[in-house]
Structures are given as C-alpha cells and as structure tokens.
Structure 1
C-alpha cells in the first residue's frame, strides 16, 4: 500500500471513530508503529489531525486566522449563540471570552438586558459600546493578535478581582477524551483563571469544535457546568458530557 493511501485511510478512520491509536493502525496496515508515528507526524504537520499520547484526534481550526474562523459554520455559531443568550438574566455579572462564537453571542443580546460584562477582548468591548444598559469592564494585558484578546500576568491579576455569575468560555476543541482545548498556551491559562472566578462556566460549542482537539488543554469536560450545542451533535460526546455531570442544552 502506498503511503498516501494509508494516510487517506487513517483520516477516514479518524473521521469515523473520533480517534486513532498507533498500535491498532500498525496491526491494521501490517507496518511498524514507527511508520505509523511518521504518518501521524506528517498529517499533524499538514493540520489534518492532533497528535496525542498513543495516537491522534481530529484537529481543530485553532491555527486559522480570526477572519477565517468567522467564516466557519456561521449559521451554527448563530444558533448556539442565540440559545446561550437566553441563559443570561438582568443584574448578572457575565464574563465573555474572546472568539467568533462569543462575538455572535454579543449580537444576540436583547436591547433591554441590564448586565455587567467583563472581557479581555477589545472587539467584544467595542461591540457593546452602543448597547444602552450594559456596563463593560475591559481586562488589560498583552494583546495576543491571533485571537484579539489580552493575556499575560496583567490579565491574570485583573481577573483575580472579579466575582462573576457566568463565564462564556471560548474553545477551539471539545472532545470526550481530550476535554476542552485551545490553540495557545497563554490563552488556556486565562480561560482557566476566568472559570475560577465565575459561579458557572458555559461553553458555546458550534459544530466545527465538536470532537476536535487543539494543542493546549484548558481542562476536563467536568470543569464546565453547561455546554450549548446543536441537537444533531455527536451522541457519544453528549453522553460523555452527561456522564461528567455537565448540563447539555441543545438548539
């Protein structure tokens, strides 16, 4: 079998099963595990998968630019964002993470919603300038241009002063085994810090994030309280979320 054919079959199995193990692939294709690991390295280098210990998971779109990620599944983002907006009540302090799905959340907030929003996203803050009743607290720090959010020690220090009702966490990957992941180490640290300052953490999981993984772990599925996703999302992931004690809200 040609290497290209084997890689194609690996990707097919990955799409079907949600993960592949090097040992199983070695037996299936009657080649050494070293050969399989080389295949996985090359596929990971091409952005086709995310390597993990012993095998690989589907790759997220974390490396794509903000503009490119905005163009991914906009209808799915809009649906989960609109559902997420119904979970917010007037009078609350709400942390809103940066990201393309949380940008859709801002667009879905009703005009009569009276809340305080805490964010480290200049884009989220600017989008709320014309909102009549929403007070905005912008967390400072070093601007991470890829995601247009602040990170670093200054951001962590500012976050430590907040006690919020809700945190809408942005992720680039949501996987039953890999948990919650993102594409940058500093972003993952900021997301964990925000989550620790909120009574409830909510993830808006548009379809491109389902069963995908990125290089940096934010936490396990059990570290969030609620996940909003579409009804037709993978049943195995929904079962994994429910087993972890996470409330699943569908739209």
Structure 2
C-alpha cells in the first residue's frame, strides 16, 4: 500500500471512529507500527490530526484564527451560551473566558441581570459595555491575538486577586482521554489560573469541539463542575464522560 493510500485510510478512520490506534491499524494494514506513526506525524504537521499517546484524534476546528472562528458553528455556540448564561444568578461574580462562545454568553445575558463579570477578553468586555446592570472588570496583560485575550504574568497576577462564584471556561477540544485542551501553552496556563479562582467551573463545549483534541491540556474533565454542550447525547465522548461521572448539561 502506498503512503498516500495509508493516509487516506487513516483520515477515513478518524472520520468514522473518531480516533486511530496505531498498533491496531498497523496490524489491519499489514505494515509496521513505525510506518503508521510516521504517517501520523506527517498528518499532524499538516494540521489534519492531533497525535496522542498510541495514535491520533481529530483535530479541533476551533484552532483556526479568531475571525474564522466567529463564523464556525454559530447556532451551536448560541445554544451553549444560553445554557451557560442561565447558570449565572443575581449577585454572582463570574470569570468569563475569551473566545467566540464566551462572546455569545455576553450577548445571552438577560438585560435585567445584576452581576459582576471579570474577563481577560477585550471583545467580551466591549460586548458588555451596553449592558445596563453588569459591572465589568478587565484583566490586563499582553494580548494573545489568536484568541483576543490577555495572557502572561501580569494577567495571572491580577486574576489571583479575584474570588468568583463561576468560571465559564472556553476550550478548543473535549475528549475523555485527552481532556480539555487548547492550542497554546500560555493560554492553557491562564485558563488553569482562572479555574483556580472560582468555586465552580463550567466548560463551554459546542458540538464541533466534542471528541477532538488540541496540543495543550487545560484540565482533566473530572476537575470541572460540568460540561455544557449541545453535542448529541449518543456521541461516544459524551457517553464516556457520563460513565466517568462527569456532569453534562444539555444545551
């Protein structure tokens, strides 16, 4: 079998099974494990899969640039945003992450809600300028343009002065084994810092992110309060998370 044919099989298996186990596929195709691992390295370098121990997972579409992500899965993000906004009670202090789903949460807040929103996203803060009764605090620092959020030591230091009721966490991938992932190491660290400052953390997981992975782990699924998602309840990742006793809030 030619290398191009093997890679077509790998991509087909990712689409149908949601994962590739290198040793199983090598046995099925009658090739060496090293050959499959080399194919996976090349596919990962081309942005077509996310390598994990023992194989690969589908790459998250949410690693695209910010402008592109504003056009992806808009209705899905709006459903998740409405469900997440309903978790906020009057008087709450909420850490609201950056990203396009968090931006949808800002738009979904009831106009009569009285709460405090703390965010490291200038776009989220700007979206709340016209809200009549939400106080907004912005965490400063160096702007990470890919996600339009601030990151780094200054942002983390400011975050550590906050004690919040909720953190609404945005990620690019949700998987029972790879965990809650994102595409940048510094951004992942910032998200962990924010999660440590809240009594409860809820994951904003629109359907296109479920069953996918990105390079950097934010948290394991068991470390959050719940995952808010509109993914099909029959999705293998949703079922696996439920078996692991991770709470799923259906959006």
Q: Give me the TM-score of the superposition, normalised by structure 2.
A: 0.96
Of 51-60 and 182-191, deviating more is 51-60
- Does residue 180 (structure 1) correspond to residue 180 (structure 2)? The answer is yes
Q: Please tell me whether the aligned partners of residues 62 and 214 of structure 1 are also in contact (alpha carbons under 8 angstroms).
A: no
CA distance, structure 2, for counterparts of residue 243 and residue 157 of structure 1:
37
Q: Which residue of 2 aligns with 1:119?
A: 119
Tell me the number of residue pairs that the alignment of Structure 1 and Structure 2 aligns.
251
| Cα root mean square deviation, aligned | 1.3
- Does residue 157 (structure 1) correspond to residue 160 (structure 2)? The answer is no
- Does residue 71 (structure 1) correspond to residue 82 (structure 2)? The answer is no
- Does residue 47 (structure 1) correspond to residue 19 (structure 2)? The answer is no
CA distance, structure 1, for counterparts of residue 26 and residue 231 of structure 2:
36
- Does residue 81 (structure 1) correspond to residue 81 (structure 2)? The answer is yes
Summarize the alignment of residues 1-251 of structure 1 with structure 2, pairs less than 5 Å apart: 1-230=1-230, 232-251=232-251
Q: Please tell me whether the aligned partners of residues 202 and 224 of structure 1 are also in contact (alpha carbons under 8 angstroms).
A: yes
CA distance, structure 2, for counterparts of residue 137 and residue 75 of structure 1:
28
Query: What's the CA shift string for 1:86-115, capped at 9, x where partnerless?
Result: 111110000000001111111111100000
Runs of 5+ consecutive residues of structure 2 not aligned to the other structure: none
Q: Please tell me whether the aligned partners of residues 227 and 246 of structure 1 are also in contact (alpha carbons under 8 angstroms).
A: yes
Could you say what secondary structure the match of 2:40 adopts? helix
Could you say what secondary structure the match of 2:87 adopts? coil
Query: What's the CA shift string for 1:20-63, capped at 9, x where partnerless?
Result: 12111111111112211111011111211001122111111243
Runs of 5+ consecutive residues of structure 1 not aligned to the other structure: none
Could you say what secondary structure the match of 1:39 adopts? helix
CA distance, structure 2, for counterparts of residue 199 and residue 39 of structure 1:
43
CA distance, structure 2, for counterparts of residue 63 and residue 172 of structure 1:
6
Q: Please tell me whether the aligned partners of residues 120 and 155 of structure 1 are also in contact (alpha carbons under 8 angstroms).
A: yes
Q: Please tell me whether the aligned partners of residues 62 and 209 of structure 2 are also in contact (alpha carbons under 8 angstroms).
A: no
Displacement of 1:233 in angstroms is 4.4
Query: What's the CA shift string for 1:67-98, capped at 9, x where partnerless?
Result: 11111111111111111111111100000000
Of 60-69 and 211-220, deviating more is 60-69
Q: Please tell me whether the aligned partners of residues 181 and 219 of structure 1 are also in contact (alpha carbons under 8 angstroms).
A: yes
Displacement of 1:231 in angstroms is 5.4
CA distance, structure 1, for counterparts of residue 64 and residue 233 of structure 2:
23
